[in-house]
Amino acid sequence: MLNGSCLCGSVAYEVDADIGPIVHCHCQTCRKTHGSAFSTVSPVPREKFRFTKGEDLLGAFESSPGKFRRFCTRCGSHIVAERIAQPVVLLRLGCLDTEITARPRMHIWRSDAAGWYDPKDVIPELPEGR
């Protein structure tokens, strides 16, 4: 069972399935949606996904024809993306509360990537902020 929620805790979900393949998407739409170099996503079966709290607080944005990005209207956290006719929804893994051990499989849309981020760069890491 996977569980997730938004930043303010008003929206929550559960998935009665294992995590799918994890990818980092660098497309311009994901970068702008998340204000980040990429968005980490994983598909899960639509029939195994359900909101457990706050579904009435969801907003949606059709970022490309037929693709809807669903977010909490209180805190702005992007929860899932979906194409209505597809059998999966894409979890935004930054909102996942369940600890997972799976590792990302690939970077996609590198042709659209931010010029200031290169996943091959090795830079210092700090356990906390500065």
Dihedral angle computed from the Cα positions of residues 72, 75, 78 and 84, in that order, rounded to the nearest 10 degrees: 10
Q: What is the pLDDT of residue 28?
A: 92
Q: What is the pLDDT of residue 83?
A: 95
Looking at CATH, the fold of the domain delimited by 2-112 is given as 2.170.150
Task: Give, rounded to a whole angstrom, the gap between the first and last alpha carbons of the chain.
Answer: 35
How sure is the predictor about 129, in pLDDT bands with cuts at 50, 70 and 90? confident
Report pLDDT digits (tens) over 14-50. Answer: 999 999 999 999 999 999 999 999 999 999 999 999 9
Q: What is the pLDDT of residue 48?
A: 98
Strands of 106-108's sheet, edge to edge? Answer: 58-64, 67-72, 78-83, 88-92, 39-45, 23-25, 106-108
Which helix or strand (DSSP H or E) is residue 34 part of? helix 28-34
